[in-house]
Each structure stands twice: as structure tokens, then as C-alpha cells.
Amino acid sequence: AQSVAQPEDQVNVAEGNPLTVKCTYSVSGNPYLFWYVQYPNRGLQFLLKYITGDNLVKGSYGFEAEFNKSQTSFHLKKPSALVSDSALYFCAVRDSEDDKIIFGKGTRLHILP
């Protein structure tokens, strides 16, 4: 069965510093991996995805993610954090056998001014 793990409930980063939000996955076939962000009382917004190709994926709002097959990881990164990046971030894996997306538990990112 497919699964994703986000080991950190919360990440605190000072504004201007680089940020990383961690995600590891477990899949039986080729992984289709996604990052979504959710602001308070809002729906989820798609940030980026990895399907195949370059291991470094660039997405919205300056975010990028690095796919590492050997470590089964797909960490979300940004070189310089903004206070407005404070939100709830979900890593997700798409099940290739049906059409379900499986979400991690989420990581709350706090960017400190």
C-alpha cells in the first residue's frame, strides 16, 4: 500500500532563512508525489509535483522539492522564507492503481519575523 510520512508536526524558521519540510514515501511502483499548502479556513493549493525526470522540481511561490529515490524522500524547500509562507503543508502520493491521493498528516510551518 502507498503511504507518506511527515515526521514533523511543526517547523519554525526565521524569516529570510532557508526552510525544509520533510516527507518520506512508500510505494510499490513509480511514485507520483505532490505538495499542497493550506492557509487557514481555505482549501488546499497545489504547489508542485514529481512524476519523472529531474529530481529537483520547481513549483509555485518559490518552492522546490528534491526527489531522492534511494532515501525515498521528497522534501519541500525554499531558499528564503517569508512570513506569508506560514501555513499547513501536506505531502501526498498518488496511488497508481486507483485514483486516490494519500495525504501525510501535515506539517505546520511557522515563519518568525
Partner 1 sequence: DTEVTQTPKHLVMGMTNKKSLKCEQHMGHRAMYWYKQKAKKPPELMFVYSYEKLSINESVPSRFSPECPNSSLLNLHLHALQPEDSALYLCASSLSTSGRSSYNEQFFGPGTRLTVL
Among 1, 53, 69, 98, binds partner 1 (CB under 8 A): 98
10 Å Cβ neighbour count for 31? Answer: 20
What is the C-alpha separation between 41 and 2, in angstroms, rounded?
Answer: 28
Total residues interacting with partner 1, rule: CB under 8 A: 26
Q: How far is the CB of 21 from partner 1 (least distance, A)?
A: 14
Q: Does 42 bind partner 1 (CB under 8 A)?
A: yes
Nearer to partner 1, 18 or 65 (CB): 65
Residues that bind partner 1 (CB under 8 A): 32, 34, 36, 41-46, 49, 51, 88, 90, 94-101, 103-106, 108
